[in-house]
């Protein structure tokens, strides 16, 4: 399970500003720090962290290859489409996050998924949503670097990604 207390998942990068540069907390209907329209929730804010309407640009530090995204501030999962309201690691703010970031909404290894972000963190490693041999249904699998990282004793490389996941013994030599 992804546990917010044990793994740094998001980092607060900036906040929105009204024209003139005064910081605003929470949602903003005024312009961004550049004077242009602000960025909505889910928008890529990697190069413009101060332009989020919500005032929060979050980074998935468990997968730095992903772009930073504007995120909606929340107080409970019921206000989020994913059902997941995750506390930021470096601020006293919670934001709506993909369901894999909350213990009560993430999908465990071996369970069906649609996206990597659905999967729980497994044994300190991120998880991937994978199919076996081009199968139609996908399941969550924990990423690994060595066979000893896996209960099955098999850490197999994915054919379509630069990662390995815990797999059934038949996928290891």
Per-residue pLDDT reduced to its tens digit, 107-116: 888 899 988 8
| pTM of the predicted protein model | 0.63
Q: By the 8 A CB rule, do 33 and 13 touch?
A: no
What SS3 class is residue 117?
Answer: helix
Spans of all domains in the chain: 1-98, 116-171
pLDDT level of residue 22 (50, 70, 90 thresholds): very low
Q: Sort 114 into a burial class: Cβ within 10 Å, 0-12 / 13-18 / 19+.
A: exposed
Burial string for 89-112 (b: 16+ CB within 10 Å, else e) reads beeebbbbbbbbbbeebbbebeee
Which range (64-68, 72-76, 114-118, 139-143) has the least confidence?
Answer: 64-68
Which range (14-23, 47-56, 137-146) has the least confidence?
Answer: 14-23
Q: By the 8 A CB rule, do 32 and 82 touch?
A: no
């Amino acid at each position: 399970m992804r546990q917010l207390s044990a793994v740094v998942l998001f980092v607060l990068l900036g906040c929105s500003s009204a024209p003139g540069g005064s910081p605003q907390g929470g949602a903003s209907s005024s312009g961004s720090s550049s004077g242009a329209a602000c960025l909505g929730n889910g928008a890529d804010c990697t190069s413009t962290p101060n332009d989020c309407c919500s005032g929060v640009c979050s980074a998935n530090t468990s997968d730095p290859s992903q772009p930073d995204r504007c995120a909606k501030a929340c107080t409970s999962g019921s206000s989020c489409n994913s059902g997941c309201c995750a506390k930021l690691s470096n601020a006293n703010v919670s934001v709506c996050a993909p369901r894999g970031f909350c213990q009560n909404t993430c999908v465990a290894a071996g369970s069906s998924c649609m996206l990597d972000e659905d999967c729980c963190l497994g044994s300190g490693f991120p998880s991937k949503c994978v199919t076996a041999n081009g199968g139609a249904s996908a399941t969550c699998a924990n990423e690994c670097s060595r066979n000893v990282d896996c209960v099955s004793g098999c850490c197999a490389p994915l054919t379509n990604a630069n990662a390995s996941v815990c797999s059934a013994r038949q996928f290891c030599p």
